[in-house]
Amino acid sequence: MGDAVRRRIEWLIEKSLLLSAIVGTLIVMLIAVFTFLEGFPFLAKYGITSFITGKVWDPAYGEFGILSMIIGTFYVTIGALIIGVPIAVACAIFLAEMAPQPLARLFRPIIELLAGIPTVVYGFFGLIVIVGFIKSHFDVPGFSILAASIMLAIMILPTVINISEDAIRAVPKQYKEGSLALGATHWQTIRYVILPGARSGLISAIFLGMGRAIGETMAVIMVAGNTALIPTSMLDPVRTLTINIALEMGYAYGDHSSSLFATGIVLFVLIICLNALVTRLKRRVTE
Amino acid sequence: MIKIGFKSKWMLIMIVSLLAAFVVAGCGGGTPDPGADNQQPGEEPAIKGTLTTAGSTSVQPLSEEFAQAFMAKYPGTNVMVQGGGSSQGVKAANEGIADFGASSRNLKDEEKAYGLTEVVVCLDGIAVVVHPENSFIEDLSIEDVRKVFAGDITNWKDLGGPDSRIMAVTREAGSGTRGAFEEMIMKDAKISDAAIVQPSNGGIHQAVAGDKNAIGYLSMGYLDDKVKTIKIDGVEASVDNIKAGTYKVSRPFIFMYKGEASPLLQAFTDFCLSAEGQAIVAKHYITVN
């Protein structure tokens, strides 16, 4: 095969890879543009402030306030992190630092399996087991922030565990050896040397888990109760931003439909803000 | 060297074919439907072509069954069923976006003004249901049901039951079943914001079957022994009572179109009302005679 031919092939490969990269980026742009085009005219008409701070959601009567859903999204996500992150980080420490090899080899695929379970299956589990449990222990319907948070906590485990474990393993061996040589116990080494050394990776892990929790829809719809009211306790039903879109998309038309796209815009902006926050936080931590 | 060349050639072929697949998939929407022209010559005046319908998602499963059977009977026809909701169905029929629209509620006065031809293909009842272990409620007045869903009555003791909270379960805004329920039960009252919302008949069924304090409403096709149906104003939700007009919480499934029906549309509506079509209806809903 001649040099010229090979060079042409190289050129073709390079350009096709470039094209693939462009397609990937373009799709993100298209989704953003599409969502904004559909939702923005509604926002302009109804008013961004009254949309975001409105407490009543009643499309049939022309009331489009999503404050209860913004608050609901925060409660559910923070609840999931409070329950899920300590378990996940502890599990990652165990797998990376303490577990004997055979045990770690047994645990890891099981945790990865957790990531492969379809979300509706989680939803069904949540509906029957978690909602049922809450219902039988408190005098409430069971569809609640607590139920959604517990379920999401389980769903974010594999993401947070895997990335945390990688981060812990990436801490240079010399740090650990130095600490142990100075007479620190294993736990002291983990607490004061390894975890601080891995914190940038741990932050990534937590925020990726957070992203998953905010975006999850199908499973949450089944356990959250979906009422558009500002919740006053962990046992109150809740509607998140993603639920609002998925719940009402099927029948919506006109302003109602545009208002759901506008809900999408709010979600989009929220996630962009979160990403920016993570990037800044990580830079701060590593400097 | 030759080996590397060989490898990269394969990679190239893979990439190119992948891209080609994307392009082809992207253009798929524009290709004309080959099924539309496949008509075989028959003795009858040819019934062929494509019918489109849009509208109520409650009617959608039934429309799809009609379409399947119709297309099997008349090869060369193609019936495309889309959802959108009852209001969308009326709009689509009036503006000619679809050949005919589907609605799971009676048309409102302003919709009647469009002068659409309506064909009632079946009736569906909406039943009020509670948990099977709920033994103290057999019968509710329309007024009580309204108060429960409006949030004016929140404890079973106000309805003669034990002192425990009521969990009302409703459908999401825009649902045809919710629309019919609002029209026939709620009248001018609003369903309470505090009611649990489920996105489907199946979701309501699941929620009511799982909570002793629950009350909800379902399309009759979804009734079974996991939920207990209660009488409304003393009348049981049954096929006979709906046909006789004594059970009031029922609604028609309507196909409607503007102007003169094309031969194809006429054949389709005739088919829906024929013994064959009504046999499909009878599987889940109430036939019209």
d(CA A180, nearest CA chain B) in Å: 49
At residue B161, does pLDDT exceed 70?
Answer: yes
Q: What is the pLDDT of residue B179?
A: 84
- Whether A30 contacts chain B with CB within 8 A: no
Does residue B95 contact residue B197 with C-beta atoms inside 8 Å?
Answer: no
Do A119 and A209 belong to one domain? yes
d(CA B30, nearest CA chain A) in Å: 20
Cβ <8 Å between A10 and B8: yes
At residue A223, does pLDDT exceed 80?
Answer: yes
Q: What is the pLDDT of residue B106?
A: 82
In which band, very low, low, confident or very high, does the pLDDT at A122 lie, cut at 50, 70 and 90?
very high
Residue B52: what residue type?
Answer: T
- Whether B193 contacts chain A with CB within 8 A: yes
Instruction: State the burial class of residue B182 (Cβ atoms within 10 Å of its Cβ: 0-12, 13-18, 19+).
Output: buried
Whole-angstrom distance, CA of residue A272 vs CA of residue A277:
9
- Whether A282 contacts chain B with CB within 8 A: no
- State pTM to two decimals: 0.77
CATH of the domain at A200: 1.10.3720.10
In which band, very low, low, confident or very high, does the pLDDT at B28 lie, cut at 50, 70 and 90?
very low
- Whether A19 contacts chain B with CB within 8 A: yes
Does residue A55 contact residue A67 with C-beta atoms inside 8 Å?
Answer: yes
Do A114 and A25 belong to one domain? no
Chain B positions touching A255 (Cβ under 8 A) are none
Q: What is the pLDDT of residue B215?
A: 95
Helix, strand, or coil (residue B62)? helix
Cβ <8 Å between B206 and A127: yes
Cβ <8 Å between B19 and A60: no
| Minimum Cα–Cα distance from B3: chain A residue | A1
Do A200 and A233 belong to one domain? yes
d(CA A153, nearest CA chain B) in Å: 23
Do A8 and A141 belong to one domain? no
Does residue A119 contact residue A219 with C-beta atoms inside 8 Å?
Answer: yes
Tokens for B257, please give them: 């179109």
Q: Which of A227, A247, A253 sits opposite B195 (nearest CB)?
A: A227
Per-residue model confidence as pLDDT tens digits over A31-73: 999 999 999 999 999 999 999 999 999 887 888 999 999 999 9
d(CA A135, nearest CA chain B) in Å: 8
Alpha helices in chain A (DSSP H): 3-46, 48-53, 67-93, 101-116, 119-125, 131-137, 145-169, 173-181, 186-189, 195-197, 199-215, 218-223, 241-248, 255-286
Do A222 and A114 belong to one domain? yes
Do A129 and A165 belong to one domain? yes
Chain A positions touching B16 (Cβ under 8 A) are 16
Alpha helices in chain B (DSSP H): 2-27, 60-73, 86-95, 109-112, 142-150, 176-181, 201-209, 239-244, 263-273, 275-282
Beta-carbon contacts of residue A82 (< 8 Å; ≥ 6 apart): A149
What is the residue-averaged pLDDT of chain B?
Answer: 83
Cβ <8 Å between A9 and B12: yes
Does residue B57 contact residue B86 with C-beta atoms inside 8 Å?
Answer: no
Do A110 and A242 belong to one domain? yes
At residue A164, does pLDDT exceed 50?
Answer: yes
d(CA B57, nearest CA chain A) in Å: 8
At residue A30, does pLDDT exceed 90?
Answer: yes
Per-residue model confidence as pLDDT tens digits over A83-95: 999 999 999 999 9
Least confident of B12-26, B109-123, B126-140, B195-209: B12-26
Do A12 and A88 belong to one domain? no
d(CA B197, nearest CA chain A) in Å: 5
Cβ <8 Å between B85 and A58: no
Chain B positions touching A143 (Cβ under 8 A) are 196, 207
Cβ <8 Å between B164 and A139: yes
| Minimum Cα–Cα distance from B15: chain A residue | A16
Q: What is the pLDDT of residue B32?
A: 40
Q: Which of A16, A60, A229 sits opposite B194 (nearest CB)?
A: A229
Count up the domains in chain A and report the number. Answer: 2
Tokens for A247, please give them: 């719940």
Query: CA geometry: angle at B30 spanning B256 and B21, to 5°?
Result: 135
Per-residue model confidence as pLDDT tens digits over A224-250: 999 999 999 999 999 999 999 998 887
d(CA A30, nearest CA chain B) in Å: 14
Domain range enclosing A11 = 3-45
Whole-angstrom distance, CA of residue B140 vs CA of residue B158:
12
Q: Which of A9, A246, A253 sits opposite B8 (nearest CB)?
A: A9
- Whether B95 contacts chain A with CB within 8 A: no
β B49-55/B77-84 pair status:
parallel
Do A9 and A88 belong to one domain? no
Whole-angstrom distance, CA of residue B21 vs CA of residue B15:
10
Q: Which of B1, B12, B196 sits opposite A237 (nearest CB)?
A: B196
Mutation for testing the B interface, residue in A11, A14, A251, A256 having most B CBs under 10 Å: A251
Does residue A122 contact residue A154 with C-beta atoms inside 8 Å?
Answer: yes
Do A80 and A9 belong to one domain? no
Q: Which of A128, A135, A226 sits opposite B197 (nearest CB)?
A: A226
Q: Which of B15, B172, B210 sits opposite A248 (nearest CB)?
A: B172
- Whether A287 contacts chain B with CB within 8 A: no
What is the residue-averaged pLDDT of chain A?
Answer: 91
Do A30 and A118 belong to one domain? no
d(CA A154, nearest CA chain B) in Å: 22
At residue B4, does pLDDT exceed 50?
Answer: no
* Percent of chain B residues topping a pLDDT of 90: 43
- Whether A200 contacts chain B with CB within 8 A: no
Task: Count contacts between A and B (CB, < 8 Å).
Answer: 99
Chain A positions touching B196 (Cβ under 8 A) are 141, 143, 225-227, 237
Do A156 and A247 belong to one domain? yes
